[in-house]
Structure 1
Amino acid sequence: MRLFRFAAAFALCALAIVPVAWADQPVPEPGGYRTSDYKTATPATLDGKPALTVAETHDLWQKKAAVFIDVLPQVPKPAGLTPGTIWRDKPRLDISGSVWLPDTGYGALAPAMEDYFRRGLKQASGGDLNKPLVFYCLRHCWMSWNAAKRAKALGYTHVLWYADGTQGWSEAGYPLTQQKPVPRP
């Protein structure tokens, strides 16, 4: 019985260690956009350039040296709700002053969402393709990586990626504020 308990405890410990070991493995950048499993380990780079650290991100934010773009999806109001049902959007806490363009980080966008993203970036940047743009959502979320890559494809030249998202920001003791999304199609 003791041997069984020891073997079971050993197996559980081994299973607990395996995911940590996998998390330490570098994730290569894909050639295109990530189209599934969005909430998993991300690369350390975007087009070979390292993701911003929380200190670098905070410095840009404090100096108002970049436009911050949050791309976290927003849960839509369910179709077919019974008349009179009260629906409340889930609040989004993000980096103060950010522009929230929800649902623009998926690997493939419908034409209406591509246009929404394009117009949102143009408005946020004042039409300046050289304006620094910082993309984020949550830690270990490919959506901000996809959106940053998509902005580069649209011709934006100073695209930055903050991979730690709102979790990293909050853990560093920086404030988050409730945000409303840019109205979408």
Structure 2
Amino acid sequence: MIRALAVLLLAGLPVAGRAEVAEPRDYRMEDYRAPVPASLAGATVVGPEAAHALWKAEASFIDVLPQAPKPQGLPEGTIWRDKPRDTIPGALWLPNVGYGAVAEVTADYFRRGLEEATGGDPSSPVVFFCLEDCWMSWNAAKRALEWGYTEVYWLPEGTDGWALWDYPLERVTPLPGQPQTQ
């Protein structure tokens, strides 16, 4: 039902002003902040309005915006503050899981987050996002598909597009247990 709703909302909504980017066969391995393709084989691509409808229908949302690690060797007494993240309300923030190659510990963290978000049901609808023109969400959605998730949605405009429609945002912290390195 949620997929049908998203398809109806998408009907007739062309993606304007986007450079044509071919969908690669494999993961994007570098230059993660660059124009993204208009498709992801096996997933449903949604814009902010369709994503909002999915949000109201209580689909799971996973934010994959990377988070910089605390620099090694800071002088004693240096105060380190992580950059705050404002995201779609109710979204689970799983930083650094959208790289093209991830360490097994990061893959385990991602799997745990997916299970938490979907209640362990790989057919439960899940929406992946980051920022506009961020390959991290494309990679994460592709990985979820490869792991057997079947109701995968990708919001290429991320929180940038969501906020442009004046939809709500909330401050979040990452899911505990995040690996320190990718």
- Please, what TM-score do these two structures have when normalized by structure 2? 0.85
Cα distance in 1, alignment partners of residues 117 and 43 from structure 2: 23
Q: 1:31 aligns with which of 25, 46, 52?
A: 25
Q: 4+ residue stretches of structure 1 with deviation over 4 A? A: none
Q: Please report how far the alpha carbon of residue 24 of structure 1 lies from its aligned counterpart in structure 2 after TM superposition.
A: 4.4
8 Å contact kept, 1:101–1:117: yes
Cα distance in 1, alignment partners of residues 79 and 106 from structure 2: 27
Q: Please report how far the alpha carbon of residue 41 of structure 1 lies from its aligned counterpart in structure 2 after TM superposition.
A: 0.6
The code of the aligned residue for 1:56 comes to A
Change (3 A) 1:72 1:169: same
Give yes or no for the alignment of 1:96 onto 2:89.
Answer: yes
Change (3 A) 1:49 1:99: closer
**Once the two structures are superposed, what CA deviation does each residue of 1:27-76 show, in whole Å capped at 9, x if it has no partner?**
11100100011111101111065520111000111221x10000000111
Between structures 1 and 2, the one with greater helix share? 1
Calculate percent identity across the aligned residue pairs. Answer: 54
The code of the aligned residue for 1:157 comes to T
Cα distance in 1, alignment partners of residues 18 and 26 from structure 2: 23
Q: Counterpart of 1:4?
A: none
**Once the two structures are superposed, what CA deviation does each residue of 1:140-164 show, in whole Å capped at 9, x if it has no partner?**
0100000000001111111100000
Q: Counterpart of 1:135?
A: 128
Cα distance in 1, alignment partners of residues 75 and 19 from structure 2: 48
Greater Rg over alpha carbons, structure: 1
Q: For 1:73-112, what aligned pairs fall within 5 Å after superposition?
A: 73-112=66-105
RMSD (Å), alpha carbons: 1.2
Q: Counterpart of 1:175?
A: 168
8 Å contact kept, 1:148–1:160: yes
Gaps of 5+ in 1: 1-22
Q: Please report how far the alpha carbon of residue 25 of structure 1 lies from its aligned counterpart in structure 2 after TM superposition.
A: 3.6
Give yes or no for the alignment of 1:52 onto 2:46.
Answer: yes
Q: For 1:67-78, what aligned pairs fall within 5 Å after superposition?
A: 67-78=60-71
Q: 1:150 aligns with which of 143, 150, 156?
A: 143
Cα distance in 2, alignment partners of residues 50 and 179 from structure 1: 26
8 Å contact kept, 1:71–1:147: yes
